[in-house]
Structure 1
Amino acid sequence: MVHGLATVLTIKDGCLYLSLYVQPKASRDKWLGRHGDELKLAITAPPIDGKANDHVIRLIAKQCKVAKSKVTLIRGQQSRHKHIKVESPTIIPNELSQYLT
């Protein structure tokens, strides 16, 4: 493990696991790099009625080229700190692949 990067982004048993810090109500969707032991993701959706969670799932599914049903919010339904699981990602976006150990 290099400087705790394994906690940010890991692949285990064909699944991609991400630790995210989500910034809702941003002007655009954008990966903002490391934020402590997490990756920071700015999204346009507001943190109301699960809209931010749905937006994060749709965005990650699109970027990893998988169905939304393959993206699971493991932890952080009511928090900016989220743990996401992506089953069998077709691709790992360039914005994320640099954080793989």
Structure 2
Amino acid sequence: MSAGNLQYKGQDLLLRLVLQPKSSRDQFVGMLGDELKIAITAPPVDGKANAHLIKFLSKQFKVAKSAVSVEKGLLSRHKLVRIHAPKQMPDFFKSFI
């Protein structure tokens, strides 16, 4: 994982990712080009995928849902997500750090 898709701005963690909605389960998939691919079970309608992504990331990083925000790409599969002061790093990331 390069510095471009996982970087800190102060206490905040910024992630560049591509979302795969309507998956069979929620999971970190791996790298797709220069973005982190995340699969989620929610469909891409009426903001359900974004809401589910925020819930998934808040659990993975042990923060409140309000600490996770989609900075860019609300209507796109390609997103920039900000996680304010993550309490833990998921196991998936430990091999990259």
Tell me, yes or no, whether TM beats 0.5.
yes
Considering Cα pairs closer than 8 Å and 6+ residues apart, tell me whether 1 or 2 has the greater RCO: 1
User: Structure 1 CA distance, aligned partners of 2:94 and 2:6?
Assistant: 8
Asked if 1:51 is matched to 2:31, the reply is no
Q: What amino acid is the match of 1:72?
A: S
2:94 is equivalent to residue 97 of structure 1: yes
4+ aligned runs moved over 2 Å, structure 1: 96-100
Runs of 5+ consecutive residues of structure 2 not aligned to the other structure = none
Question: Number of paired residues?
Answer: 97
Q: 1:96: how far off?
A: 2.2
| CA distances 1:27-60 after superposition (whole Å, capped 9, x unpaired) | 1111111011100001000000000000000000
For the 8 Å contact 1:9–1:19, the answer to whether it is kept is yes
Question: Which of 56, 64, 68 matches 1:67?
Answer: 64
Q: Percent identity?
A: 47
> Unaligned 5+ residue runs, structure 1?
none
Give TM-score scaled by structure 1 length.
0.90
SS of 1:34's equivalent in the other structure is: strand
CA RMSD of aligned residues (A): 1.2
